[in-house]
Amino acid sequence: MSADMQVFLLPDLGEGLTEAELVNWLVAVGDEIRVDQPIAEVETAKSMVEVPSPYAGIVAELHGEAGQTLDVGKPLISVAPVGASVPAEPKAAALEEEVTEAPAASIAAETYRTEEKAGSGNVLIGYGTSGGGEARRTRPRKALGSSVAVPSAVAVAPDFAELALSRTRIPGKLSAVISPLVRKMARDHGVSLDALPGSGESGLVLRRDVEAAIGGAVRETAPAEVPAPAAAAADVEPSAGVRDARTGLPVASRTPVRGVRKAVAANMTRSRSEIPEATVWVDVDATALLEMRAELKKKDAHGTPGLLAFIARFVTAGLKKFPELNTRIVTTEDTAGGEMQEIVAFDGINLGFAAQTDRGLVVPSVRNAHLMSARELDAEIRRLTAVARDGKASPTELASGTFTLNNYGVFGVDGSAAIINYPEVAMLGVGRIIDKPWVVDGQLAVRKVTELTLAFDHRVCDGETAAGFLRYVADAIENPGTVLADL
């Protein structure tokens, strides 16, 4: 690889994400690109976003194919200076081969930097490069006191190589482990790294070694000298002829849990394990709200807010009266060095709402919702829903909520034992609106009735506060004209 070649690594995706699926290349080998030009579309556990290039020049190599899952810190694209000649076709694993041929110390150092410090200066997806800072150098630096660059293939002294590799070892263990992801995977599955044979350079323990030990996904073992590129995984992998060990039934398919589904699963698991939640619910007569909206539609058919926007307006007003439900619990260190929990309150409301997309359930949030009218809320909810369904929502739009409103009535159900959207402390669910018998002024009548369900974190408040908030929203739905006039 030329000394002037610049290699762009898949950047830190934020929110603790460590991998992304390459959906589509937006450039080809030989194309001339500019700084901040989108070069690829990738799907993370949050959304599908475009990756901008921090370099200008000629595309020399694309490291990956559509459908392949790439790890953060691994090569994404190689860029040569303008005017440089590049091969007509990309070499599938050119960079991987070169890295493999490098000394063990170089591999250890580079892997540690990219996996332990991923994102310290890389481009954040969707935001371009930093204003005035230069992109991080990836070519060899010049030796001190010399004008000659040190080639990447120059052998490193054996003692330094051993020292670098020894720093990757777990004390008292025989195997070398660099990646924190590998260590976490082994810990989570109860795999002892003691004497676990590593298939990487100098016995380095790789992810595939731990997966093999825990009986995970079956992968073909590639020679240690040339790591096999990740296969373009299909959403559903056929498993003909395989029987499940527990049930004895044939396995029809195996579907990898990844992307949005993987993020949802992790978030819901954490919510259930950490939050002592309680639930309160109430049936509400929504007839007056529907009648009011019908009257507004006669005057302005296209500018009338939807029902969810009206309820969102009532929710923001209710959270102002019951701010305990618009908080977050964090764990900090006390003066004695121990752990303590704090309830963090916010001066404002970012109202999240659940949106079903082709990639799964996501929760975009309306920022500063407490400052918006029902009409403004309606416009922002519609915009965010469209962005989320297109997979273009930014990490900020998907991860900044302080309270979630979930309209599961669109699925034809009345109620739900909702799981709180961690790290928030409460979620309000709205069921379908249907005709039900209802007593009005002592007389039985048919009314439009819905069920409101509030799941809340019992650590931040007691049932009285939760019931007070729920009753406030219910009263607002039953008497919308009076409440809206006071807002």
Mean pLDDT of the chain: 76
The pLDDT, as a whole number, for residue 128 is: 39
Angle at 205 between CA 200 and CA 209, to 5 degrees: 95
Per-residue CA distances from 79 to 30, 54, 435 (Å)? 9, 10, 64
Residue 11's Cβ-count burial label (10 Å; 0-12, 13-18, 19+) is buried
Cβ of 448: how many Cβ atoms within 10 Å?
Answer: 17
Ordered by where they begin, the domains of the chain are: 6-116 (2.40.50.100), 172-228 (4.10.320.10), 261-486 (3.30.559.10)
Give the position of tokens 């992801």.
181
Phi first, then psi, for residue 104 (nearest 5°) are -60, -35
Instruction: State yes or no: pLDDT of 115 exceeds 60.
Output: no
pTM of the predicted model over 0.85? no
Distance (Å, whole) CA 105 – CA 40: 32
Residue 110's Cβ-count burial label (10 Å; 0-12, 13-18, 19+) is middle
- Could you tell me which residue, 143 or 432, shows the higher pLDDT? 432
Residue 458 designated active-site: yes
Instruction: State yes or no: pLDDT of 46 exceeds 80.
Output: no
Q: Band of the pLDDT at 378, cuts 50, 70, 90?
A: very high
The pLDDT, as a whole number, for residue 159 is: 40
Tens of pLDDT, residues 260-305: 777 778 888 899 899 999 999 999 999 999 999 999 999 887 789 9
Give the position of tokens 């159900």.
413
The pLDDT, as a whole number, for residue 237 is: 56
Tens of pLDDT, residues 147-157: 334 333 333 33
The pLDDT, as a whole number, for residue 158 is: 38
Which residue, 376, 373, 368, is CA-closest to 351? 368
The pLDDT, as a whole number, for residue 219 is: 37
Q: Band of the pLDDT at 319, cuts 50, 70, 90?
A: very high
